[in-house]
Chains A and B, each alone.
Chain A
């Protein structure tokens, strides 16, 4: 596999459960070293898609490749890490035993495995609890142990399903840092998450999945997000409003107006339009449209709590 080949590639991947189409048409391509966010409301087909990529369920149609091999291929799985949403394993094992067992399942052994397990236990801050049984771990500790287990094989791609759901702010920070470290080593991270703030901080690119279909793709940090400009002005007559409407979509948001403009270049134009209309400008603040706002916009009715 050349270094630029897609790590994950799917074309029209589909999964039907009886009469329900869980994933209608999934076409993705992930590059090496990319942190990819997979977003959508509950029941959109995120976990089903992830399970198809990992060979846990068989697709009903379409095709997919993982590290250049057909999905479900065992050799490809040797270079994949996976942390399920609710990480569970035989809870009588200690943290250290868990990593040893997982390492052996990856085909590792001997001093290599021991060294790798110890360094990962240290990395996820579980070295002190390595001799404690998993059943006595908190949810966050279990999740961190699962994360360490998913990295034992030095994977080329890691699938994380809601990795921070049970974690406290420190744990979340740890996961975030770890994802950036992985990216730095050229590892691709496939992140399923509901926590849009976190996705915004970590992901290079996101896609929105709605009813089993990719409905939007968005590159983060690319500067192509629209800006919302908050505005409070006194004496802005109809002419002023008209001038603002020419610059972007104007909405009343209680305390003032909100103007959505395509980019930062429009911000001084807004100030100029307000002053030109003879109004007094009290407040003007530009902020990027948040991923949450974009999510709600894309999902429409499906944005209802699930």
Chain B
């Protein structure tokens, strides 16, 4: 285990020194500041004009909280893909990997050490940004989304999927190709998700199936939809009162599918890395 933890610590150092992490943190901070100011005015407006019913106020606060979490999800996915993008391919290209792999270390330890380090970074990033959003919402409105823990866990699973994809791609592809592939797959899941939503809303079964297939191929976006569904009051979700109320709610099986998908992606990376000439 000493070797594994040494690799984790080295990778955490590497991540901490990256400008991209600083950029991600500054981006998150700017977002939270803007979000805080926006929420402040929304809450003030709602209080000043004594906006209609408590239900309406609740609707507004839920909408704003989910919008914040939606942005959080996007930032976390972006970081999960970009932060570890070249941790393997970069070390292979620079020759650092030769020194690492010639040590009595399993190739799988190298890959999993890097994976775990970037997973920690992304989990921390999610905790920071989502914690900020939920804190701001609670501070201004006293609103705490239902099932927040389950929702955040699903967002973390989505981030885990993208960290795994980025690392596994880095074990097999060059940095640029890896980035293109990861974002193409993210785009596929994103568009597939919307097709599924619109088709469900319009009751178009063939189109909905296309969306479902996309979600099966890349199940990460479905996790966000399930998280969004869980983190709003049941009535709002069922009446589709916010843009974050999915028309087609992914089932619990999708969570298992996404977990399995992540394991398969990592195994694909491990297999490629074990055979790769360095």
Bound complex: CA of A90 vs CA of B98, how far in Å? Answer: 13
Give min CB distance, B164 to chain A, whole Å: 23
Complex CA gap A107/B109 in Å reads: 13
Interface string of A145-165 (1 = CB under 8 A from B): 010010000000000000000
- Which chain A residues in 38-63 approach chain B with CB under 8 Å? 51, 54-58
Cα separation A208 to B70 with both chains bound (whole Å):
64
Contact A88 B94 (CB under 8 A): yes
In the complex, what residues of B have CB within 8 A of residue A75's CB?
104
Contact with A along B2-43 (1 / 0, CB 8 A): 110011001001100100000000000000000000000000
Task: Indicate whether A251 reaches chain B with its CB closer than 8 angstroms.
Answer: no
Whether, in the assembled complex, A295 has its beta carbon less than 8 Å from a beta carbon of chain B, the answer is: no
How many of chain A's residues have a CB under 8 angstroms from any CB in B?
29
Chain A residues in the interface with B (C-beta under 8 A):
51, 54-58, 74-75, 77-78, 80, 82, 84, 86-90, 92-93, 101-102, 104-107, 109, 146, 149
**CB-CB under 8 A for A109 and B2, given A51-B278, A88-B96:** yes
CB neighbors of A among B90-116 (8 A): 94-96, 98-106
20 A-B contacts, Cβ less than 8 Å apart?
A: A51-B277, A51-B278, A54-B102, A57-B277, A57-B278, A74-B105, A74-B106, A75-B104, A82-B99, A89-B96, A90-B10, A90-B13, A90-B96, A101-B10, A104-B3, A105-B6, A105-B103, A105-B105, A109-B2, A149-B99
The chain B residue with its CB closest to the CB of A85 is B95
Chain B interface size, as a band, is 20 to 34
Instruction: Say yes or no: B99 contacts A90, CB within 8 Å.
Output: no
B6 and chain A: residue at smallest CB distance: A104
Q: Given the complex of chains A and B, what is the CA–CA distance between A74 and B99 in angstroms?
A: 14
B49 at the interface (CB under 8 A from A): no
Question: Roughly how many angstroms separate A86 CA and B17 CA in the complex, as a whole number?
Answer: 23
User: A146 CA to B103 CA in the complex, in Å?
Assistant: 13
Q: Is the CB of B13 within 8 A of A104?
A: no
- Measured CB to CB, the nearest residue on chain B to A57 is B277
Report yes or no: B14 in contact with A55, Cβ–Cβ below 8 A: no
Interfacial chain A residues near B95, Cβ < 8 Å: 84, 86-88
B17: chain A residues within 8 A (beta carbon): 92
Closest Cβ of chain A to B168, distance in Å, is 20
Contact between A84 and B99, CB atoms less than 8 A apart: yes
**Nearest Cβ in chain B — how far from A55, in angstroms?**
7
The answer to whether B99 touches A87 (Cβ under 8 A) is yes
The answer to whether B101 and A56 touch across the interface, beta carbons within 8 angstroms, is yes
- Please give the distance in Å from A58's CB to the nearest CB on chain B: 7
Residue of A nearest to B278 (CB): A56
Cβ–Cβ contact B2 & A56, under 8 A: no
